[in-house]
Amino acid sequence: MKNLNVKKITDSQAYLGFSYFTKIGPVSMTLLEKYFSSPVVAYLANSFYLEKAGLKQKVANEFIKWRETFDLAAAENELIKEKISFVTWHDLKYPTLLKEIPAPPFLLYYKGSLETLYDKNKNRLAIVGSRKHSAYAEKTINEFLPGLTEQKIEIISGLALGVDSLAHQAVLNNNGLTIAVLGTGLDSASIYPAINRHLAENIIKNGGVIISEFPPKTQPLRQNFPQRNRIISGLAQATLVIEARDKSGSLITADFALNQNREVLAIPGNIFAEFSQGPNNLIKSGAKTITEIEDILEIFKLETSKTIKNGRLKKDKTIFNDEEEKIIYTILKQANERAEKMTVDEIVKISKLDTSVINSKLSILELRGIAKSDGISYDIN
């Protein structure tokens, strides 16, 4: 065993070594713990005793061969360099809720503060959905997340593009706490998608944490993501599916939640929309229908805040400089209520105003913070 002093290896180091060998997971680790007196003894055992413990001969032989070249000291140095910590399933810091699920990870890597996950009684909601989200999903998140964060509900998701990213960012925008579970290593070069590395950094800066059961340098392999989905649902009391195809990773997460005896929630959608098939079918199968924030608060036995109630009754008091601004704003507002955005051409068609006038007024509305644009279409703030 390269650079390994057998007299000094600890149980934590043994778990770390096992974690780098991908063919030994929670089920195999349970067998090893039952047979051997300690993780260290298991890690240093020969193939005969590994087989006696329950490992298949091929896996035992592969582990012995792999162990001869694995550099445990280098692995520990890499964790220090990347500021990555880890806990095993016997550590007090290990998330309490996660211990309750079938085959929890025997080791978790993390960056940030794991303290929030010690407390089993904190309210946590997993939010999952399509990577190619619609304006409907974006509007749902923007409507629900401020109230959920105000009620101190922590949001868990997978840092993926689409609904995951929207959920994480909405929490940060409202100074809430969010947790990201990755299907890759946590080293800066492996965080996936790369475009969300800055988002991961902001999650940590805001008091949250990013988690993975995969060691550094683990790439975004397809089989990793269903595996990580059981952690997303396992860390939360409930999982909310916002948009998803009929067969998707989000539904895998919902299935894990169901098998973990957790609540499954779904946002209903247009019956003709592809990304509504998943949540609509979940509802048909018994998932709780979510049409307003009170439905979620009810799950956590929380009362609706005055801010949310008053917000719904608040009248629109936007002041306009002229009639053209009011017309354009009304069009955008009506589209927003349908969870849609409007392009300049669409506004021209409805308003009958000149394109130059619309562009000018939209610029003014943007500067005043009344309207916003994604570079293609417009919406109201």
> Are residues 56 and 101 located together in one domain of the fold?
no
> Are residues 269 and 159 located together in one domain of the fold?
yes
Cβ atoms within 10 A of the Cβ of 129, count? 31
Number of domains composing the chain: 3
> Are residues 188 and 284 located together in one domain of the fold?
yes
> Are residues 303 and 353 located together in one domain of the fold?
no
Task: Give the per-residue pLDDT at 247.
Answer: 81
- pLDDT tier, 272 (very low <50, low <70, confident <90, very high otherwise): confident
Measured in Å, how far apart are the chain's first and last C-alpha atoms? 60
> Are residues 239 and 372 located together in one domain of the fold?
no
> Are residues 335 and 276 located together in one domain of the fold?
no
24, 44, 77: which is the final residue of a domain? 77
Range of the domain at 101: 97-311
Task: Give the per-residue pLDDT at 23.
Answer: 96
Q: Let me know if residue 6 belongs to a domain.
A: no
> Are residues 230 and 134 located together in one domain of the fold?
yes
> Are residues 168 and 250 located together in one domain of the fold?
yes
> Are residues 142 and 244 located together in one domain of the fold?
yes
- The CATH number assigned to the domain holding 164 equals 3.40.50.450
> Are residues 301 and 232 located together in one domain of the fold?
yes
More confident residue, 288 or 270: 288
- 84 phi-psi bin (left φ>0, alpha ψ -120 to 50, beta other): beta
291, 311, 331: which is the final residue of a domain? 311
Q: Let me know if residue 191 belongs to a domain.
A: yes
Q: Is the peptide bond before 104 cis (omega within 30 degrees of 0)?
A: no
User: How far are the Cα atoms of 24, 110, 237, 243 from residue 130, in angstroms, in the given order?
Assistant: 31, 25, 21, 5
> Are residues 151 and 290 located together in one domain of the fold?
yes
Report the C-alpha gap between 274 and 13 in whole angstroms.
Answer: 47
Cβ atoms within 10 A of the Cβ of 44, count? 17
Q: Let me know if residue 333 belongs to a domain.
A: yes
> Are residues 271 and 303 located together in one domain of the fold?
yes
311, 337, 359: which is the final residue of a domain? 311
% the chain with pLDDT above 90:
77
Q: Is the pTM here over 0.75, yes or no?
A: yes
* CB 245, CB 275: distance < 8 Å: yes
Q: Let me know if residue 184 belongs to a domain.
A: yes
The string of pLDDT tens digits covering residues 122-173 is 999 999 999 988 888 999 999 999 999 999 999 999 999 999 999 999 999 9
Q: Residue 220's closest CA among 195, 199, 190? A: 190
* CB 329, CB 320: distance < 8 Å: yes
Residue 323 has pLDDT above 70, yes or no: yes
Q: Let me know if residue 68 belongs to a domain.
A: yes
Q: Let me know if residue 169 belongs to a domain.
A: yes
- Angle of helix 344-351 relative to helix 323-337, nearest 10 degrees, comes to 110
At residue 380, φ and ψ (nearest 5 deg) are: -95, 155
